[in-house]
Structure 1
Amino acid sequence: MKKIIDYILSIIYLIHFGLTLLVFHVIQIIAFNVFGKKVHKVAVDYLNFFLTFGLYLTGANVILRNLTDLPNDRPIIFVANHQSTFDIPAVIWLLRKYHPRFVSKIELAKGVPSISYNLRKSGAALINRKDGKQAITEIARLGKLIQDEKGSAIIFPEGTRTASGIMKPFVAGGVATLLKRAPDALIVPVAINGTGAFNPKGIFPLKSFSKLSWTVLPGIEPSGKKVEDILEEAKTAIQNILSKE
């Protein structure tokens, strides 16, 4: 019976998901080209609001928590574990005040309604994993951007999704490059839990009545610390949250 419910609710949510991407793709194009970047950002925020809270259509328990006060006068590098494609909408909505730009694989810059358009227009770092020089250049550009704007970036230092919930080692290269160009940045861990189990077999079927949580943790001052030590501290903080849930 539970499997039948999973299939029915998955179909309902995925119809909602697809229609939301299509509708907001048009809205984004109009917002960006007619009204400019600020209105485009608002459109992106509400795209991710509908994607996130649409998860209730699957019976999910969606928990968004911020356990710290974040500064407005310095750059921020959000460091998150990565379990699923479904990690991202809630992160964008939860952190919308800070307008985080993603470090993303370049393949996502084409072919996905709404998402590809936003990646191209938002200033995200679009990296080619087969071209190390290009990847470093893109991440460095993003680092300078958040330093100049006192903005924020978000990176998944595992480098890939881990649906099992068991985190892979955090790779230092991307964060090190961001910090080199944004030396004033605060490192802020974000713990994401439950999304891997939510779609264990790919995008269909989804697991109904899942508990999904996103938690922003206290920041880590990077001054005087090695990047590897910063990431180990961030990983431990994230693991502590995952272990409690």
Structure 2
Amino acid sequence: MAKALQWIRSLVFVVQMYLAMAVLAVIYIIPAIITRDAAYAAVRTYCRYVRWSARWMVGLRTEVRGEIPRGEVLIGSKHQSFLDIIMIVSVVPKPKFIMKSSLRRAPILGWFAMRIGCVPVDRGKRGAAVRRMIADVERGRAAPGQLIIYPQGTRLAPGVIKPYKVGTYVLYRETGQSCVPAATNVGLFWPRAGLMRKPGLGVVEFLPPIRPGLDQGAFMSRLHDEVETASDRLLAEAGFGVARG
């Protein structure tokens, strides 16, 4: 009975979450056309609303730990579900992503993503897109901000092991920016697929930045070890055991 009730709560939460997206899009569309700052306000307001509504509707509390990245930096984050995106965007000043080109056509989400400076990338053309993004920032045509990247390239369930892709190092090298590792445990409560949302404490933790200048081996090793170690600690804190072999 308790599980069925939680599933119903989860369904209601998901439905109202997307309705809220539509309502906020209507409220913010004109201001966002006029100024990019309004687009940032729109996505930040939405993400904070989702965090607030998750707390009282499904018992899912959220907490962001560590120093919030500001200025022009990379954020190399563990990615377990939509919730880690929501939590990061809710706190950083000017978030942007390298996203799949097809997302430009997504209703509401696609337009606002482009408005805040996300970079659409066709499969196999990531390098060219990154070079164009860097050039646009330098020429003043694109807004600087916090570029959020997922070193493993996709959402993964807690405890699943997948190699870190070298593309993260390419961004670190080409931009000359610090990279802030970010760990999470949110997949325990908000899975990568399905409707069920579980009560508990979902955490995203920003770790000390990796300064520019490391070579590929040193950077990739440090990023992997810091993100995985911290994510395992957060999973253990929530009662989930992780075995690394």
Same fold by TM-score, threshold 0.5 exceeded? yes
Instruction: Measure, in 2, the Cα distance between the counterparts of 1:77 and 1:112.
Output: 27
Instruction: Measure, in 1, the Cα distance between the counterparts of 2:181 and 2:173.
Output: 15
Q: Paired residue for 1:108?
A: 103
Residues 24 and 215 (structure 1 numbering): CA distance in 2 closer, same or farther, change over 3 Å?
same
Instruction: Measure, in 2, the Cα distance between the counterparts of 1:190 and 1:203.
Output: 24
How high is the TM-score relative to the length of structure 2? 0.84
CA shift for structure 1 position 11: 1.9
Task: Return the match for 2:77 from 77, 80, 105.
Answer: 80
Instruction: List gaps (5 residues or longer) in structure 2.
Output: 235-245
Contact 1:155 1:175 in 2 (8 A): no
The aligned amino acid for 2:163 is P
Q: Percent identity?
A: 22
Q: Paired residue for 2:170?
A: 176
Q: Paired residue for 2:238?
A: none
Instruction: Measure, in 2, the Cα distance between the counterparts of 1:32 and 1:93.
Output: 17
CA shift for structure 1 position 53: 2.1
The aligned amino acid for 2:184 is I
Q: Paired residue for 2:43?
A: 44
Q: What value does the CA root-mean-square deviation take over the aligned residues?
A: 2.2
Instruction: Measure, in 1, the Cα distance between the counterparts of 2:169 and 2:134.
Output: 9
CA shift for structure 1 position 12: 2.2
Q: Paired residue for 1:164?
A: 158
Instruction: Measure, in 2, the Cα distance between the counterparts of 1:70 and 1:50.
Output: 21
The aligned amino acid for 2:103 is L
Contact 1:21 1:47 in 2 (8 A): yes
The aligned amino acid for 1:237 is E
Q: Paired residue for 1:119?
A: 113
Contact 1:81 1:167 in 2 (8 A): no
Contact 1:139 1:174 in 2 (8 A): no
Residues 52 and 30 (structure 1 numbering): CA distance in 2 closer, same or farther, change over 3 Å?
same
Asked if 1:139 is matched to 2:130, the reply is yes
Q: Paired residue for 1:227?
A: 216
Contact 1:65 1:214 in 2 (8 A): yes
Residues 146 and 9 (structure 1 numbering): CA distance in 2 closer, same or farther, change over 3 Å?
farther
Contact 2:51 2:61 in 1 (8 A): no
The aligned amino acid for 2:116 is S
Instruction: Measure, in 1, the Cα distance between the counterparts of 2:144 and 2:112.
Output: 20
Instruction: Measure, in 2, the Cα distance between the counterparts of 1:188 and 1:201.
Output: 23
The aligned amino acid for 2:101 is I
Instruction: Measure, in 1, the Cα distance between the counterparts of 2:192 and 2:95.
Output: 29
Instruction: Measure, in 2, the Cα distance between the counterparts of 1:227 and 1:191.
Output: 21
Residues 176 and 29 (structure 1 numbering): CA distance in 2 closer, same or farther, change over 3 Å?
same
Residues 140 and 243 (structure 1 numbering): CA distance in 2 closer, same or farther, change over 3 Å?
same
Residues 2 and 139 (structure 1 numbering): CA distance in 2 closer, same or farther, change over 3 Å?
farther
Residues 171 and 18 (structure 1 numbering): CA distance in 2 closer, same or farther, change over 3 Å?
same
Instruction: Measure, in 1, the Cα distance between the counterparts of 2:194 and 2:111.
Output: 21
Q: Paired residue for 2:21?
A: 21
Instruction: Measure, in 1, the Cα distance between the counterparts of 2:203 and 2:127.
Output: 31
Contact 2:75 2:147 in 1 (8 A): yes
